[in-house]
Amino acid sequence: MIGIIADDLSGAAEMAGLTFRYGLDSVICLHPDSGNLENEVIILDTDSRSLTKKEATMIMEKAGNELFKKKPDWIYKKVDSVFRGNIAIELETLSRVIRHKRTLLIPANPSLGRTIRSGDYYIHNRLLDKTDFAADPELAEVTSSVVKLLNPAHADEAVSLKSGDSIAEGKIVIGDACSTDDLVGWAEKIEDDVLPAGGSDFLAAILKKKGFHPTAKTISSEIKWPLPSLLVSGTASLSGRNRIDEAERNGIPVCRMPKELIQPNCDCDEFIVNWQKEVSTNLQKRNLVIATVGLPRTNDLRAPSRIVDHLFALTKRLFEKQKIGHLWIEGGATASRIIRGHGWDFLKAVHEWDRGVVSLTTGKKNTPILTIKPGSYPWPRDIWEGQEIIIS
């Protein structure tokens, strides 16, 4: 068994899709206790990216101990590719719990143009602090230095090394990686006392090194066309909004959140009911309807939390009124709130449409197929083509 720990649901889903692609039976657990699961890959989503360091440490201890008890062949720690979250403290805690002396962190994803060169992070050959990520409030520091981005508790706890260097004990080693060959070189250095951590490209290199290969898979029989489908989008990214506008121009109904719901003290029930009725009416005519926020950005720091709560409330009311066969969710925070809100604790990967776009089942009766993706990733074209069917 392979154990993987991710700090958010979209990252966990990306790992499930990747391991599914390599022919492995993968399941995501949304709490540290994975029960009696016997899948080939068990992925724990700690949902700890936005927690305090103390909270993240406690959850990582639970998750690490849970996996360690199952005696996995090896454990991988999935981290955000641009160092958001409590990466340093989580790696330190996990390596201690599973008794590994060395930690190798390769967050670069060369296949996406995200590379590390001489200790600096680049996106499509631009230094990270010269890109839009410089404005991201989740970054520890506006810098391109990978050691500073990691933000360890003590400056000497992390070190940046060039490809081919030895992995030192007692430190988090962040390796340069500009190509697939670099990733393969680092994968070959992993021994029993090394905790590997990073993104999807590094995990793929490790899987190949261990003898796994991608397998050609057809769409699961559980995903039948057409299904009454709802796409819920909570992303605030410009690219996400542009994709929804394009879908609307192509005739897919788009139901935007009532503007009153953005207010902190509104009476929500009436507006949620009206929103639900609008979605339901459109689902009687089309197999695919989009529910989205569609409101301008606000400086209210609590607005994002309210928005995902409203999106969950919408889905809860819809499921009480009618059958939804397929629920597509755009945005990691939105997916986490909706899936956790419905109590779907175990998610089995059944299809990978594209990188990070993964379909999952809950194992419970009368629940929809779930397909989730990060807000910054595009939807594959064949998803739209399969669902654009008018009900006559």
91-114 pLDDT, tens digit per residue, is 999 999 999 999 999 999 999 999
Res. 276: pLDDT tops 70 = yes
Confirm if 78 and 4 have CB atoms less than 8 A apart.
Answer: yes
Buried b / exposed e along 98-109 (16+ C-beta atoms within 10 A):
bebebbbbbbbb
Enter the pTM of the model. 0.90
Given this model, what pLDDT does residue 19 score?
97
Give me the domains of the chain, ranges plus CATH numbers.
2-209 (3.40.50.10840), 229-387 (3.40.980.20)
Confidence of residue 217 (pLDDT cuts 50, 70, 90): low
Instruction: Please state, in angstroms and rounded to a whole number, the distance separating the CA atoms of residues 142 and 332.
Output: 23
Tokens of 74: 């090896």
Q: How far is CA 309 from the centre of its chain?
A: 19
Q: Within the chain, how many helices (H) and strands (E) appear?
A: 11, 18
Give the contacts of 238 (CB within 8 A, at least 6 positions apart): none
Average pLDDT over residues 145-161: 86
Amino acid 389: pLDDT? 40
Give the pLDDT mean for 56-74. 93
DSSP character string of 336-357? HHHHHHTT--EEEEEEEEETTE
With cut-offs at 50, 70 and 90, classify the pLDDT of residue 220.
Answer: low
CB 206 within 8 A of CB 185: no
Report pLDDT for 155: 63
More confident residue, 356 or 385: 356
Of 2, 14, 37, the residue nearest 346 (C-alpha): 37
pLDDT of 380 = 78
The residue among 42 and 139 whose pLDDT is bigger is 42
pLDDT confidence bin for 260, thresholds 50/70/90? confident
Residue 295, pLDDT score: 66
Residue 115 banded pLDDT, cuts 50, 70, 90: very high
Token pair listed for 201: 């490209």
Q: Examine the pLDDT at 225 and tell me if it is beyond 60.
A: no
Q: What is the mean pLDDT of residues 45-59?
A: 93
Quickly list H helices, 3-120.
9-21, 53-69, 87-97
Q: What are phi and psi of 252, to 5 degrees?
A: -80, 125
pLDDT digits (tens, 9 = 90+) for 163-183: 889 998 989 999 999 999 999
User: Can you tell me the mean pLDDT for 275-295?
Assistant: 91
